[in-house]
Structure 1
């Protein structure tokens, strides 16, 4: 991931409604949620959901697919993994321990990224 892509991903998450949607989709897992279910969970109008998920999809954080008349969205764990890798390489010089971070299950590919995005990043002080 290049810096411009990382900026786009952070910008996509830097909005209360988009962060709420992202967190709901992280909890939903790979099966994702329909746009209607996202609207209910986030307390937003369907048109607002469409706007917000489109921004996160363009940023590489979500993927979508159609089933009959419904559009489903899920977190793109590869995109999240790329963002976390960018942070580790660019901000921690490739050594997450320098930043006081450990990504649970990071060697598991996209799964570790998903766990990290769900809030399972731990600092050195968390173990104390």
Structure 2
């Protein structure tokens, strides 16, 4: 996972409404929720919901599937695990000491 992909995903989650939306989809599990159900849970206007869902889809955190007339949204659990693994991989890896000649 690239730094740009990680930054995009974290930026998408950095908005309160998108974080609430993503957490709702996490609680819903692999079955996901229809856009209408999400709107009822969060009380967002359809255009606002579409905007926030679009940002989460673009960031690779949410997948959508058309089922008849409904669009089902699901959290992409594998993507979230990948982000956490990529960030965690840096833990305690050490930092190169730089010369401090300027001081």
Task: Determine the structure 2 residue equivalent to 1:41.
Answer: 41
Unpaired segments ≥5 residues, structure 2? 94-103
**Residue number in structure 2 paired with 1:87:** 87
TM-score (structure 2 length as normaliser): 0.86
Q: Which runs of 5+ in 1 are unaligned?
A: 95-128
Q: Aligned to 1:78, what secondary structure does the other structure show?
A: helix
Q: Which has the higher contact order (CA 8 A, sep 6+)?
A: 2
Which residue is 2:13 aligned to?
13
Does structure 1 residue 76 correspond to structure 2 residue 57? no
Higher-Rg member (1/2)? 2
Change (3 A) 1:2 1:78: same
RMSD: 1.1
State the number of aligned residues.
Answer: 93
Structure 1 residue 50: Cα displacement = 1.0
1:1-128 superposed matches below 5 A: 1-90=1-90, 92-93=91-92
CA distance in 2, matches of 1:67, 1:7: 31
TM-score (norm. length: structure 1): 0.70
Cα displacement string for residues 49-88 of structure 1 (whole angstroms, at most 9, x for unaligned residues): 1111111111111100001111110100111011111111
Change beyond 3 A, Cα 1:43–1:83 = same
Structure with the bigger percentage of helix: 1
User: Secondary structure, in 3 states, of the residue corresponding to 1:39?
Assistant: helix
